[in-house]
Amino acid sequence: MIFSPTPLSAAEDALRHEVRAWLAKTLPTDFRPGLGLGGRHDPEFSRALAAQGWVGMSIPEEYGGASATTVERFVVVEELLAAGAPITAHWIAERQTAPALLRFGTEEQRRWFLPRIAAGECYFSLGMSEPDAGSDLASVRTTAVRDGDGWRVSGTKVWTTNAHLNHFFVVLCRTSTADDRHAGLSQLIVDLSSPGVTVSPIPLIDGELHVNEVVLDGVYVPDERVLGEIGEGWTQVTAELAHERSGPDRYCSVIGLLRAYLDEHGVPDDGSAAAFGRIAARLWSIRQLSLAVARSLDEGEAPATEAALVKDVGTIFEQQTVETIREIAALEVDPEGSMFGRLLAECIMNAPSWTLRGGTTEVLRGIAAKALTRGAAR
Amino acid sequence: MSETTELRDAVTDVLRGPCTPAALEEAERDGWAPAVWSALHDGGFATVAVPESAGGSGGSVAQACAVLEACGAAAAPVPVAETGLLAGRLLAAAGLSVPDGPVTTVAAPGLSFDGEVLSGAVSGVPWAVSASLAVVVDGSAVVVSPGSGVVTPGRNLAGEPRDHVDLTGVRPTAAAPVSPDAVEELRRRGALSRAALIAGAARAVLDLTVRYTGEREQFGRPVSKFPAVAAHLVQIAEQTELATMAARSAAAGAGEEGEPAALDVAAAFSVAADAAGLIATAAHQATGAMGMTREFGLGVLTRRLWSWRDEWGGGAAWATELGHLVAAGGADAFWPTVSRGLVTAQT
């Protein structure tokens, strides 16, 4: 394990305070914080943030970014998530797509997409899950067949967040019928406004309509929009997932709730202080684990196991926090009540998704256990 | 950080010889482990974080905690935390030299001192028979010789001496006034020492449990291959990393010469105390009946986890303190307070 206490440099700490001050000035005083990644889709905010240089920070300067380190991006993203800022529009493009383009994309793709992403103007969704391919991603059935200088893609993707608002999604699909089910996969960048794309909402238990089913019916994708190599989709996707599991989005979903709780209830007695203190202690410790992973990425390591551990610890922490806060607040949840009541209601109804998205708890523990027992056999 | 890593490895090496299962059994029977103490004392490891001017080995709180992690992993049955990080630093701050040999201490005892002799009694004193005792009484740090007063032996769950000592009529061998902060600082270092010991023992439990479940076969394969058992291993690993990160961060926050911060210690001890219970439960479940036997070697670690988590106030008291601390500034101060991590001076 690579975890060790990771100090911020004075410059990194100054960046944190700069972001914090900008958010205090930019977000309205009656702002209702989003639950981390559950923040609103707000292109205006994304562009304003980009104007500060805080979107696509790790993109090299030659492609419109800031050539920032993983830790610098960590510092900015943690402040945004802790404030519940409306970051959803640009989130996937900057976290997932930009690094994939840098790693696997063509020069032409980088020159076209990256400056637009860094400007907070080009938004992506994920195109991985399907009705029969959730945790078992390698069983995707969406298929691309050769057509002239491009591909015709058909199939169904699900859980596609904000596909009705975003511009593109990277589709994991089958480009050959190889016996090895990992070998025939490829990634294609699909324009969500292409003919043959049908986006329909999948209403969630809280009535929200940000998650979609996307049906692709013979959608044409030119060769220039193939991401990486044909047949290398599996390798590319697993590299993406491993690096993106342990970020601040795994423990920041509840910060808004904690603030609202303090604002409306405080800790009037030792019992509530003890419960709140245990939450604070865990948060204090988990964020340092997450920061340690970010630092080790900057030092050239690939801490996939550590990332899986942090995600598991972080999301379980978030769920336990909601339960503890509900208990010490000791009231009936009112989804139309005060800020605290509304956030608590939203947390309770969204908390189950925290241990599902980005790899279920069971999948993550499988990854971690494999690494632990492999280490013992060495 | 590499200095602390080297120190941890060095202490691990030093303890490998003397800290055997037989030595641990003898220590539980006799209340003392002379070979273990000699190994640590002779290497100067018992007084890390005590200034050289006071007779210590010098070094930071983080380095002392690195020693304690190794001691926790080996279940070393001697008062290393008490001698250096706790009593040693207390005496050095009072301008007193540290007695050569084991030293012990306790938090703010119910004693009084008239300038000549002590009166009153203290309980839960680690290794009172073998160690000099240094405590703060009425604004002074005082030292008494090993075994002073009337000692009624006691022990914690791990069989480590935790004695009751009646000091009425005992004349200290040294006394000097100490700053009003000394008691609170000692209490923080006490809690931090337990967090570091827990982190070390947790790592040893993880290694032992992973090894055993990889070797033990049932239904024709190693039990670690069963997802339900593997989930216990992951739980132990996660709690070990959390406790370790917490203890090391609080220790690192003290810097080269300073004391650990109240918030950091409270957070670290709360995390470590909860981790101790979760780890012990998961490890015993994963190792089955074998883990419950005296010979297996898990018990010397889990009995320590169950003891240390309640010492120096215990997890709940520190969590309560932390809760009041982070709530004190109101909602707007909460995140800035919790996220105020380590920052290096240079850019």
Nearest CA in chain B to A264: B331
How many C-beta atoms surround the C-beta of residue B9 within 10 A? 12
| Residues B151 and B113 placed together within one structural domain of the fold | yes
| Residues B23 and B121 placed together within one structural domain of the fold | yes
How many C-beta atoms surround the C-beta of residue A231 within 10 A? 15
| Residues B196 and B335 placed together within one structural domain of the fold | yes
- The set of residues, in sequence order, having a beta carbon less than 8 Å from that of A304 and lying 6+ positions away, is A242, A243, A245, A367, A371
| Residues B239 and B161 placed together within one structural domain of the fold | no
Subunit contact A369:B330, Cβ cutoff 8 A? no
Strands B103-104 and B132-137: parallel
| Residues B162 and B267 placed together within one structural domain of the fold | no
Per-residue pLDDT, A376? 55
What contacts 24+ positions apart, CB below 8 Å, involve A202-205?
Answer: A202/A158, A202/A159, A205/A349
- Please check whether residue A33 is in contact with residue A84, taking contact to mean a CB–CB distance below 8 angstroms: yes
Q: Hey, is A20 helix, strand or coil?
A: helix
- What is the band of A321 on the pLDDT scale with cuts at 50, 70, 90? very high
- What is the band of A359 on the pLDDT scale with cuts at 50, 70, 90? confident
Per-residue pLDDT, A179? 77
| Residues B202 and B171 placed together within one structural domain of the fold | no
Question: Which among B210, B320, B347 has CB closest to A376?
Answer: B210
Measured between beta carbons, the chain A residues lying within 8 angstroms of B346 are 9-10
Subunit contact A263:B331, Cβ cutoff 8 A? yes
Strands B103-104 and A185-191: unpaired
| Residues B108 and B218 placed together within one structural domain of the fold | no
| Residues B158 and B243 placed together within one structural domain of the fold | no
Mutate to test the interface with B, among A278, A284, A286 (most CBs of B within 10 A): A284
Subunit contact B343:A7, Cβ cutoff 8 A? yes
The region of weakest confidence among A227-241, B294-308, B326-340 is: A227-241
Please give the torsion angle defined by the CA atoms of residues A367, A368, A371 and A373, in that order, rounded to the nearest 10 degrees: -110
ipTM score here? 0.95
Per-residue pLDDT, A243? 63
Token pair in block for residue B84: 């250096």
- Please check whether residue B192 is in contact with residue B248, taking contact to mean a CB–CB distance below 8 angstroms: no
Residue B53 sits in a domain whose CATH number is: 1.10.540.10
- The set of residues, in sequence order, having a beta carbon less than 8 Å from that of B251 and lying 6+ positions away, is B60, B61, B62, B64, B65, B192, B196, B260
Query: What is the per-residue DSSP string for B257-287?
Result: T----HHHHHHHHHHHHHHHHHHHHHHHHHH
Question: Which among B214, B242, B342 has CB closest to A313?
Answer: B242
Domain final residue, candidates B177, B200, B231:
B177
Strands A226-227 and A185-191: antiparallel
Please give the backbone phi and psi of residue B268, each rounded to the nearest 5 degrees, phi first.
Answer: -65, -45
DSSP state of A9: P
Across residues A294-310, what is the average pLDDT?
A: 86
Domain final residue, candidates B177, B202, B228:
B177
| Residues B227 and B296 placed together within one structural domain of the fold | yes
Domain final residue, candidates B177, B205, B229:
B177
**In the predicted structure, residue A367 carries a pLDDT above the cut 90:** no
Q: Which of A199, A203, A230, A232 is nearest to A217 (CA)?
A: A199
- What is the band of A318 on the pLDDT scale with cuts at 50, 70, 90? very high
Question: Can you give the pTM of this predicted structure?
Answer: 0.95
B342 at interface of A, judged by CB pairs closer than 8 A: yes
Q: Which of B234, B341, B30 is nearest to A372 (CA)?
A: B234
Catalytic, out of A72, A94, A244, A306: A244
Measured between beta carbons, the chain A residues lying within 8 angstroms of B238 are 309, 312-313, 368
Measured between beta carbons, the chain B residues lying within 8 angstroms of A267 are 323-324, 327
Question: Measuring CA to CA, how many Å separate B181 from each of A142, B114, B178, B187, B195?
Answer: 68, 21, 8, 10, 21
Across residues B5-15, what is the average pLDDT?
A: 97
Across residues A204-227, what is the average pLDDT?
A: 95
Nearest CA in chain A to B329: A262
Q: At what angle do helices A270-298 and B227-252 cross, to 10 degrees?
A: 90
- A244 is annotated as an active-site residue: yes
- What is the band of B184 on the pLDDT scale with cuts at 50, 70, 90? very high
Please give the backbone phi and psi of residue B243, each rounded to the nearest 5 degrees, phi first.
Answer: -65, -40
Subunit contact B210:A372, Cβ cutoff 8 A? yes
How many C-beta atoms surround the C-beta of residue B5 within 10 A? 11
pLDDT, mean over chain A:
93
**In the predicted structure, residue B77 carries a pLDDT above the cut 50:** yes
Measured between beta carbons, the chain B residues lying within 8 angstroms of A1 are 237, 241
Q: How many CA atoms lie within 13 A of B338 on its CB side?
A: 32
Amino acid at A33: P
Interface of B with A in 217-236 (CB under 8 A): 222, 224-225, 227, 230-231, 233-234
Q: Give the residue numbers spanning the domain of B43.
A: 3-177
Side-by-side strand order, sheet with B140-144: B103-104, B132-137, B140-144, B174-177
Per-residue pLDDT, B204? 98
Residue B252 sits in a domain whose CATH number is: 1.20.140.10
Q: Which segment, A129-138, A299-308, B321-330, is predicted with the most confidence on average? A: B321-330
| Residues B99 and B13 placed together within one structural domain of the fold | yes
CA distance A261 to chain B (A): 8
State which H helix or E strand residue B229 sits in: helix B227-252
Q: Hey, is B346 helix, strand or coil?
A: coil
B211 at interface of A, judged by CB pairs closer than 8 A: yes
Q: How many CA atoms lie within 13 A of B206 on its CB side?
A: 28
Per-residue pLDDT, B345? 63
Number of domains in chain B: 2
CA distance B270 to chain A (A): 6
Measured between beta carbons, the chain A residues lying within 8 angstroms of B210 are 372-373, 375-376
- What is the band of A377 on the pLDDT scale with cuts at 50, 70, 90? very low
Across residues A260-264, what is the average pLDDT?
A: 97
Subunit contact A313:B330, Cβ cutoff 8 A? no
| Residues B125 and B215 placed together within one structural domain of the fold | no
| Residues B132 and B154 placed together within one structural domain of the fold | yes
The region of weakest confidence among A12-26, A103-117, A300-314 is: A300-314
Token pair in block for residue B273: 């105390």
Per-residue pLDDT, A378? 40
Amino acid at A266: G
Q: What is the Cα B64 distance to its own chain's centre?
A: 10
Amino acid at B186: L
Subunit contact A20:B336, Cβ cutoff 8 A? yes
Nearest CA in chain A to B242: A285
Q: At what angle do helices A255-264 and A304-329 cross, to 10 degrees?
A: 20
Interval A134-176: pLDDT, tens: 888 889 999 999 999 999 999 999 999 999 999 999 999 999 9
Interval B196-224: pLDDT, tens: 999 999 999 999 999 999 999 999 999 99
% of chain B with per-residue pLDDT over 90: 96
Per-residue pLDDT, B3? 84
Per-residue pLDDT, B1? 44
